Amino acid sequence: MADLSVVFAGVSMKNPVIPASGTFGYGREYDQFYSISRLGGISVKGTTLAPKAGNPPPRIAETPAGMLNSVGLQNGGAKKFLEYELPNLKSKDLAVIANIAGATVEECRQLAELIDGSDVDMIELNISCPNVKQGGAAFGTNCNSAAEVTRAVRGATSKPLMVKLSPNVTSITDIAKAVEAEGADAVSLINTLLGMRIDIKTRRPVLKNNVGGLSGPAVFPIAVRMVWQTANAVSIPVCGMGGIATAEDAVEMMMAGASCIQVGAALFADPFAPLKIIDGLDRWCNENGVKNISEIVGTVRPW
């Protein structure tokens, strides 16, 4: 068998496959069907300081080659995560990545400070959230606000810090450089692209929130392009995501520069997708003479 183990921003994982935040909950439901210890890691449901009910339904809709969602970070809050979910996850053999989100810089800082004293292996800071003190614009759409929130979180924790980047920007490499300069140990990308669909019978958007995040195979080429650009612009490692559904997709994303990958929308079509990707990576490596999966990272040869 090929060696699929990776070390990402100092965190060791048995393979590079991680279910993306918001698509796998805390792993409890999936663990009824297969051992989630087979995974390299898990990025848990986006966690906020206080519990959140999320947006009103309908908040998920299927689209050609993907899906729209405006779930709105529904979760039980940081206290429930740390006291109830984290102990269960730490009983599994996988890296636990805490995805955190706040409406202000101070909320993000407080979350990082809370989690710093826990057994979490890594923090993933979601900067696609609206900054309520800056008119509702997402932290991650502006270099200054992305840098500010990263600096605050970096100062509150010694955990490895990965910043999850929004693709809804003019230049994702500028945002990546800004968070790297403020102490991010890694970046993950891409988060969902803002999209909209309309029911032509009712003349209303299919989502109650009107717009939502587009994910799935439709966004994969955009994700590959942004991962490639970012990996060539920063010196910190990149976790690639966005439409990955097969082992071949994972290989392509890693060749673009991703050191590990996250699987999201594919789980809604096939709950076993991460395991199939892991097995497929092993087969691909054996068929192509690759002894360690990390050998392929960033090996694309542009024309």
SS (H, E, C) the chain: CCECCEEECCEEECCCEEECCCCCCCCCCHHHCCCHHHCCEEECCCECCCCECCCCCCCEEEECCEEEECCCCCECCHHHHHHHHHHHHHCCCCEEEEEECCCCHHHHHHHHHHHHCCCCCEEEEECCCECHHHCCCEHHHCHHHHHHHHHHHHCCCCCCEEEECCCCCCCHHHHHHHHHHCCCCEEEECCCEEECCEECCCCEECCCCCCEEEECHHHHHHHHHHHHHHHCCCCCCEEECCCCCCHHHHHHHHHHCEEEEEECCHHHHCCCHHHHHHHHHHHHHHHCCCCEHHHHCCCCCCC
* CA atoms of 111 and 249, how far apart (whole Å): 33
Catalytic position from the list 129, 239, 260, 285: 129
Active site residue 239: no
Contacts of 98 (CB under 8 A, 6+ apart): 44, 47, 81, 115, 118, 120, 122, 123, 124
Q: Which residues are catalytic?
A: 129
